[in-house]
Structure 1
Amino acid sequence: MDLRTLRELPLTYAEVGATAGPLPAGYHHLELSAPIGRGRARFEQAADAVLRWGMHRGAGVGVRVDADSEIAEVDAVALVRLGLLRAPCRVVYVINEPDRRGFAYGTLAGHPESGEELFSVRYDPADETVSAHIRAFSRPATWWTKVGGPVGRLTQRVIAKRYLRAV
């Protein structure tokens, strides 16, 4: 599966953009955050890393990402890999605010899950805290992820925590 092929694939869920508001019913929800430093310079560094796929590329444990855009932008496609697992995604929105930056991508046909995941960093000017955030909704899209149930959710949580530490 190459990146050009991904451009032709449809998203696998209807609730596009829902990680920006209330998470939709009928999905497993995931919300994690962690402080990652202090100060505007730290925020800018982390924001740049997130938008350049740094949460993914820095996660370790064999996570790889190939994207058709160096910086996450709407409609950019990516193939996230974990060992033999292939997870095609498309960026559905980007956050570019003074104190909050990041992006959300949605699953494409061929992804083992169906849903959306938001990767962002925030700067709190009141105390200069910088924090990383992940927000997602998903459900199994293949027979083997349905059978795997809790193991898949645990794997998602473990990798999400690694994403937070990566920036």
Structure 2
Amino acid sequence: MTRSRRFEREAHLGTGAELFRRASAALINWDMHRRAGLVVVATGPATPGRTVTLRPRTGPGAWLRLAAPCEVTEVIDRPDARGFTYRALPGHPERGWETFLVRHDPVSDAVALTVTGESAHATLLARLGAPLARVEQERITRRYLAALREQP
């Protein structure tokens, strides 16, 4: 049995209500995933029950033509925080969940993205390539965090 790994990463995106609005929209409409280098197959924005299939455009996942089907399980829509959680579906190389949350602090005006998740290898290929699979997961997470940063 593969042990699960829990992680949390955060990035400061910039400041302001307009950035919060833009970053939230980019997240909910899958643009963050696209900017991070993934092919996104979804019929609409992140809503509970929506399925999405993600495929890397580069790296080991692309070379192996891996697909990562997921289902949105929760959407967060508050004045100070927007985002969603999805879980891996059968066929995903990992099993687990990830939450993506854009927050706007009304006091400091700071906007941040937090990515939290828990996963374990779900396929023989992922277990055999465990070190590479973890490196790839970290690479994609870093790209998520960079994808919504304010552009100069």
Normalising by structure 2, report the TM-score. 0.88
Note the C-alpha offset of 1:147: 1.2
Could you say what the CA RMSD is over the residues aligned between the two structures, in angstroms? 0.9
Q: 2:48 matched to 1:74?
A: yes
Displacement over 3 Å in runs of 4+: none
From 116, 128, 143, give the equivalent of 2:109: 128
Are 1:103 and 2:77 matched, yes or no?
no
Structure 2 residue ranges without an equivalent (≥5): 57-61
Contact 1:55 1:163 in 2 (8 A): yes
Aligned 8 A contact 1:34 1:133 in 2: yes
Identity between Structure 1 and Structure 2 (%): 40
Report the Cα distance in structure 1 between the residues aligned to 2:141 and 2:33, rounded to whole angstroms: 9
Deviations 1:115-135 (A, max 9, x none): 001111000111100001100
1:15-164 mapped onto 2 (5 Å cutoff): 26-60=3-37, 63-69=38-44, 71-82=45-56, 83=62, 84-164=65-145
Deviation of 1:150 after TM superposition, in Å, equals 2.1
Q: Residue 38 of structure 1: CA displacement?
A: 0.1
Number of matched pairs: 139
